[in-house]
Chains A and B, each alone.
Chain A
Amino acid sequence: MSTTTTDTSTEKMHAGVRVGGWSWVWRPWLVLATAGLAVATFLVFCISIAIGDFTIDLPAVIRTIFGQGERVDEFVIMDLRMPRALVGLIVGVALGISGALTQSIARNALASPDVLGITAGASATAIFVVTTSGGAVLGSSLGLPVAALAGGLGTGLLVYFLAWQKGIDGFRLILIGVSVSAVMTALTTWLLVLADIRDVARAQAWLVGSLDSRSWTEVWTSLWVTIALVVVVLAVSFHLRPMHFGDDVAAGLGVRYSVVRAVLLLCAVLLAGVAVSAAGPVPFVALVAPQITMRLMRTPVPPLVGSGLFGALLLISSDLIARQVLPNDLPVGIVTAMIGGPFLVYLLVRANVKRPA
């Protein structure tokens, strides 16, 4: 299947930059596109805060964010709208980077936390906690995130070990992920059958991925964990590039690929777990964001920073659409599924049509 992200032949030669002991390849378009994406994400973030039951104009929003706003605006923005937008931003970044990592490691465009069963596992444990506690946990700030994180991590490890066979092969990883995902979904369905109908309604809304009524507590917990993970990822990802040439080349270049891969995969699973614990299993962002970013920035593999930014852009815009265009305050996951389902199919069809005989 030619959906692997390794395609170095299209890469042009670039000049190098050296600062002290560090060196990078200077890619003007990559830097420019990343900066553009950052600006666009910030703008949509501000627009998302500006639009609501009553609309605040954009300059006022930006003034308020930087602490220069009027008191009324400050209340609406900082207390009511900011947490939701920030959770969207953090979750988007976490999912985007998580997807970029899993796709790079599996060397397959289709290996995302949704397909690998990680989000399904996080959902199953979260729903277990919700239904057995009679819904009490949904309001609390600790139980649900911890359960989702533990479930995501447990499932990620399970998939990894089940797919391990003298190494990790992307094809096997995905199929094992699909089957583990099915088990987790079956368990979730069973929990929903047993539960009280009021808990079911709450759980179901959460299950599709939602940013509704988030508070600063969710922002802080997810923010710190995400920042810590992103720092680790960026530090280790220096070793990721040689791995795209295959395990043997990477080993020849001095990369301890099994360690690097394990650390990055762990970070990817934890990032997905944090995202699920903050917003529920928002579908497809982790799959779509890295793929679009890769095409946008003309890189052979999904760029990490860009994928994170695009994930945030995608999630915040989807939330805006969910709030303003769709009826009845539908959760954001509905919009990402509407975008992501067809996109997945597009990827498959394109990969098939391009496939050499």
Chain B
Amino acid sequence: MPKATNTDDPDGPDGVQIDLISGERMDGMATMEKIRMILDGVHEGNIVILEEGLTPDEESRLIEVTMAEISPDEFNGIEIETYPKSETRDSSLLGRIMGSDESTAKLTVIGPANQIETLHKDETLISALVSRN
């Protein structure tokens, strides 16, 4: 996993760490292992990008666990956007926009809600403006 910079270190370089997690790394992980890995990264202020996304059930559990970890002045949740990868081009336009296929062949961007100023998606682009606070 690539490591960029650490925003928590006052002596370190000023930046935002981006974790690009391959599908291979996610293979074989249990649902809670994936969620723990995502939320541990987000708690550290990182932007987490999943090459192969999550299943609907995993997304449901991600929301549930995120809610359990929200606390005032410390962590107020996540921003998340997903778009399907080209492998799903055979499915309907709707299916691609909705990301409703059972397939996890989709790219997902997850970050801390208090650092992501805007997270915009269209059919082929996810755009995030990330603050360094």
A, B in one complex: no
Q: Contact residues of A with B, CB < 8 Å?
A: none
Q: Contact residues of B with A, CB < 8 Å?
A: none
